[in-house]
Structure 1
Amino acid sequence: MKVGKDSAKSIMKTYCKPSDAQMSGDDLNMTYSGKDYSESVYLTFKKQYDGTFILSHASGNFPTDAVQTDDSYKSDWTKEQFDAINKGDYSNPSNGTKLEGILKDYPKASDADYTISIVREDEFKKELTVFYNDFKSEDGKLKTVYLLFDTTEDGDTF
């Protein structure tokens, strides 16, 4: 798929009709869903002066095997441990704690997914989201920890 080039018509011709489609002003939003909510592709098209819709944004959520998940996860996070995480920023995500460091201490999460987004032609953004949810956690343990990891410049380190 090429942002700024592919039309809604060409996408549907290649990939068939979407699972869902909605119009909002000059935007056409299409969703292609997989087996469950963790496998979906979201496409946004902008209406052009000639009435065609051209792809302006694409993203997809996919399950990941980089993180082990456990449906019966029991919280092992404290507030002090969470506060000790270094947060990166968009200009330099490598300032943040790396995924491998988190997984060394907290190897199993309640859920995790991988997102790829395309906003400009040939410019991809990869993110990994890790959830640690235990709404019945014992005293002193956090009920929810939500971590979002961006890739560093090499594109493979979160």
Structure 2
Amino acid sequence: MMPRLILVGPPGAGKTAVGQAVARLLDVPWRDTDTDIEERAGKPITDIFVEDGEPAFREMERAAVQKALAEHDGVLALGGGAVRNPDTRADLGAAPVVFLDVDLPNAVSRVGLNRSRPLLLDSPRARLRQLMQERRPYYEEVASVTIDTSERTVDDVAEEVARHARSG
């Protein structure tokens, strides 16, 4: 079993909103590995970072990605940093992956000062820029297609993603 479609991208790219809309358009289930991690840990990701540390979170993230890839056949969104793991990138090699890209101003306006994003707690704009630059090569490596979500509505992007899923 493999997901019909996997979404990757930085915070603010629209993975959750677009993913849910694409799942509705394709009439398939929706899943987000960040939600899986929170449910398994019994606490928000921010608390995992603070109480257990980023390495513990990354271990949980890797396990959540492996489990979702093995058992989910709908639309799957991965957390923004999941692609940093080389084993995850290898697992995505044959999968239909869409990189939802976004420019910094749009990402910042969408994310705002969201306290549920632990890596953005200090200097959100500068940290988001840094994360986007560090992760871009990984997103590009795993992606079958890249779609820019900047200045676009969720429905517009979802339609484009669904077209790719249907054709590919």
The TM-score, its normalising length taken from structure 1, stands at: 0.24
**Larger gyration radius, structure 1 or structure 2:** 1
Larger RCO, structures 1/2 (Cα 8 Å, 6+ apart): 2
Query: Higher helix fraction: Structure 1 or Structure 2?
Result: 2
Q: Report the structure, 1 or 2, having the larger strand content.
A: 1
Q: TM-score, normalised by structure 2?
A: 0.23
